[in-house]
Structure 1
Amino acid sequence: MKLSVRRCSKVSVCTVLKAEEKSINKIHECGESSCLVTVSKAEPPSESDNDIIPRGEQADYQGRKSANVSYQRPTCPQDIHAVLREMSSMLAEQKVELRHLQRENEAQAAKLGELKQQVQEQAGELTAVKAKTNVTENQVEALMRDREVKQVAFSASLLASGSGIMGPFNAHTNLVFRHVTTNIGNAYSPNTGFFIAPVRGAYHFEFYIGAHGSSHPSAAWLVKNGQHIFIAYEHQPSHYGSSSNGATLLLEVGDVVFLRLLVNTRIFDSEDHHSTFSGHLLFTICTSVRV
């Protein structure tokens, strides 16, 4: 803005306001932000501006000139720094909450890892328990089988029915006792006359041989795996007679025990069962024991 002052010989100094023909823009600092303050362009001076204005009228003139100058009041938006402070506070809270969630997540992840470890350990323990259970079941089954096997006993007579004499034969002949009264464990076979040991142990055997008549003696061997163990022999002068014997044997699993009639001898039996073959398990023996 340019002020022009002219002197008059008749009156005191007159002030004439003369505006340049351009707008004046001034930046007004509003707190933390910048607002634009605009002063509108003044009208070009008229010829009356150069007139001499009496001192008393200068105030009115200046008021009228001031009215020609318009100010645009600064329109400041919301305080940006306040908004930034609020946003910073919210961001800080979110960061704190995020860190809290991260810590919770880490804690839950650690707990999940512990649970997985526990599940794996429990799975291992369950596998071990199952293995032990299987072993226990096998042991129980073995004990049951062993108990069943330990219950071994048999007794049989020579003829299945009726009465009669067998022999004499011109060779040793294996005897088959057909009439079975007891066969616990089914270790004796009435088809072959063989007793086959189901377990290693001590067995006791007894046998009785009936004799009838005076022409031939009666004799039988107790045989183990083809080996003659004991003999029962009777040769009566007349009528009826009998002989017997017995033995306790250590048998391995699969050993065979039976009776064999000697060559040129005979054996008698009837419904009264004079000739019999019996045996039973006394006790089992571990394989580490040697006799």
Structure 2
Amino acid sequence: METMLVFSFLLLACSISAAQTADDGVILKKKIALLQPFASDMEAVLTGIVTSLAVQKEQITLLQKENQEQEAKLKKVETQKTEIEQLKQRLQAQQVAFSASLVEQGGGPYTGPFNTETTLIFKRVVTNIGNAYNSSTGIFTAPVRGVYNFGLTLHGHGDSAYPTSARLFMNKDLIFTAWEHQATHSPSASNGGSLLLDAEDQVYVLLWPGARIFDDYNHHTTFRGHLLFSM
């Protein structure tokens, strides 16, 4: 009798467990059915995000390429600016011309005579393009290598004791001499020529020892030069 009761209880328990399992399966299926639309929506959202990221990546690549092109253009512009500035500097260096007379205002006394050669300082500067002539020292310094033309004109008063004479030097080399000597009237002397100068070469005028020259408000005595062409 007891055996029959135990067996009956086990059958009842198994039937209840099977019923619960079946119910759980139905509930799970219902939950899955409810979640399927959300899963589809999530898949669509993720697909959209992936597509958007791909588009953004392509746009970033294009922007990077454009930035590189802009940087290359900017570098080219900067290079051109540098070249233009260098060209301007070369052109400015090639614009060289000066003209000066011995005294600034008035006239007399005479310059000279001296016992030794003395640098003539032409103080009245009419033109000094390129600032190659120094009115404090009387020396012209070549800014660039090239061919320059120089001219020298001297004025004097006739005197049997004092010639009107000066000499033009390049560095320490004598280039030419302007000379005139007469006892009366107003002698003048001039000379000039073209010189091939290297940058920093110097050109200046020395008064001949024992010579005397004159200048006044008419500015007779002059020193001048200009660059013909660079080399």
Q: Deviations over 1:190-242 (max 9, x none)?
A: 11001122233322111111132222222222211222112211122422111
Aligned pair partner of 1:266 in 204, 212, 222:
212
Please say which of residues 140-149 and 168-177 is displaced more in the overlay: 140-149
Stretches of 4+ aligned residues off by more than 6 angstroms = 23-27
Answering whether residue 19 of structure 2 is matched by residue 34 of structure 1, we say yes
Is residue 185 from structure 1 mapped to residue 130 from structure 2 by the alignment? yes
1:176 and 2:108 matched: no
| CA spacing shift, 1:154–1:87, aligned 2, 3 Å | same
1:224 matched to 2:170: yes
Q: How does 1:1-291 map to 2 (within 5 A)?
A: 34=19, 81=26, 84-164=28-108, 165-213=110-158, 214-285=160-231
Query: 1: distance between equivalents of 2:39 and 2:66?
Result: 39
The question of whether the paired residues in 2 share the 8 Å contact of 1:218 and 1:234 is answered with yes
Q: Which has the larger radius of gyration?
A: 1
TM-score (normalised: structure 2): 0.78
User: What value does the CA root-mean-square deviation take over the aligned residues?
Assistant: 3.1
Rate the CA distance shift 1:91–1:269 in 2: closer, same or farther, 3 A. same
Question: How many residue pairs were aligned?
Answer: 219
Task: Give the TM-score normalised by the residue count of structure 1.
Answer: 0.64
Which structure exhibits the higher relative contact order, with contacts defined as CA atoms closer than 8 Å and separated by 6 or more residues? 2
Structure 1, unpaired ranges of 5+: 1-22, 36-75, 286-291
Tell me if the contact between 1:172 and 1:261 (Cα under 8 Å) persists in the aligned partners.
yes
Give the aligned partner of residue 3 of structure 2. none
Bigger share in strand = 1
SS at match of 2:156: strand
Equivalent-residue separation in structure 2 for 1:152 and 1:171 (angstroms):
31
The structure with more helix, counted as a fraction of residues: 2
1 CA distance for matches of 2:38 and 2:55? 25
